[in-house]
Structure 1
């Protein structure tokens, strides 16, 4: 194992596959919401894309959203394991951190809720940009920093109270400004990021954890504690969660934050920022005119 890496990606894959086998798509409501948002965002893009890639979105939901938008002619799914794939779309089995795509070979790349579990997110974004033809589009969503913030706080409080120490139990998620910087570093033009935040309510902490297991997103950090947690730990964590984050009806809140990102492969037809000093009208002149109004 490489201790410089944040995630044990072998374990991430194992848990995703186990969740798919045991729970199917029963906990795909967040992915379904992201797919709906994807369709809406694509529908607002005024152009068609010949070859589109759905990268590691784990189900057909993202590909179906692209299909419904009418913006993509050919849709190819890329997944790390065959069980995630169906026969509805052409598919490639490959690691999303080592893309099997030639330079300037695709027109559209989409990724829903998987990039936050990569160890080399900058490298993956760079590979996506290189695979896009000039004026090709990347559109994706990844978990943002406020995701499961209530769960993180309660687990830290519980562990600190019981053992006097703290180990990482919820993955650190990206800040929207950092994601914008990653898009720029990868060479995307016209990069845009924004945040969609959803609150999901549960009867208690245990209901939330059942959903997280069904999604296959338990703690896969290399730095996680290997010491099994006790029933006492979870009971106390559930108490703290209920004390701090419950509504008047007794149900608890869980926050899920999606950072949406888009960027284009450079093309001469795209808007370019003006060079410094090239503006025909100065701000001072504009303000003088505004004062006259």
Structure 2
């Protein structure tokens, strides 16, 4: 029996198709994930030949990987994003690729909207060749606390509009459960200041990050929206702007290979993310 789906797949596809024309005006968080992911990849002291850009959106990371000499396949849940990148339309938890097809998989910004995240990570590990690398980034737990508080204060059913969030520790556990070797998860916090709740909501819509929860959810009533806006404004600094927090979770894992170091006892790890990135290529 299939478990109920958290997110509406059709709504997600349609929303991504709708935002493509103006995405560059709202892509600052995605661009930050891409930049950080590429920086981390640059620290890996080994070459990669064939990469999967999963959740490619505007194709920036795929272009950067091609510039580094890689053969790149792009994939996105949105038909128009996938088509613009010359790629494949698919969800992260429904990959159409054969096992051991890539030596690098990069997923920036979409895994937090996957219905089956454990399944998606397992599929990513399966499409990697032995000793292949996975790098991911997504919005994690702790993101948008002001918005969440404002919505909860505005109506009794606000929880039906809020996406579940994944914290960094759970993300690391999911990597290990999916079978990745040397899994690493860490997080960074970004603060963005908004003059109003409506500017924040506009950014979320433009980035395709507004609610995608499955089921019938009626639009927020005007009175409830006004209460939420007042609650958001009440948290403003002296200049009238409210500081909102985004937490970005970064993931790293290697597809298992016989020559890799064996993991130490749980809780005894002393390796840093930089050490994991600098692993030399296995013969």
Secondary structure at the counterpart of residue 160 of structure 2: coil
- Residue deviations 1:46-83, cap 9 Å, x none? 00111000001311122134345x3x521110123331
Distance 1:269 1:263 in 2: 15
- Bigger Rg, which one: 1
Structure 2 partner of 1:10: 10
Greater mean deviation of Cα atoms: 206-215 or 266-275 = 266-275
Secondary structure at the counterpart of residue 256 of structure 1: strand
Structure 2 partner of 1:25: 24
The normalised TM-score by structure 1 is 0.84
Provide closer, same or farther for how the CA distance between residues 264 and 3 of structure 1 changes in structure 2, counting only shifts above 3 A.
closer
Tell me if 1:130 matches 2:126.
yes
Provide closer, same or farther for how the CA distance between residues 84 and 275 of structure 1 changes in structure 2, counting only shifts above 3 A.
closer
Structure 2 partner of 1:51: 50
Structure 1 partner of 2:160: 168
Tell me if 1:82 matches 2:79.
yes
* Number of equivalent positions: 265
Tell me if 1:263 matches 2:260.
no
- Residue deviations 1:248-269, cap 9 Å, x none? 2111122111110010011122
Tell me if 1:73 matches 2:70.
yes
Matches within 5 A, 1:243-262: 243-244=234-235, 246-262=236-252
The normalised TM-score by structure 2 is 0.87
Q: Which one of the candidate residues 233, 241, 248 is aligned to 2:232?
A: 241
Q: Which one of the candidate residues 174, 177, 184 is aligned to 1:185?
A: 177
Unaligned runs of 5+ in 2: 267-283
Supply the RMSD in Å over aligned alpha carbons.
2.1
Distance 1:138 1:239 in 2: 42
Secondary structure at the counterpart of residue 199 of structure 1: strand
Distance 2:252 2:62 in 1: 17
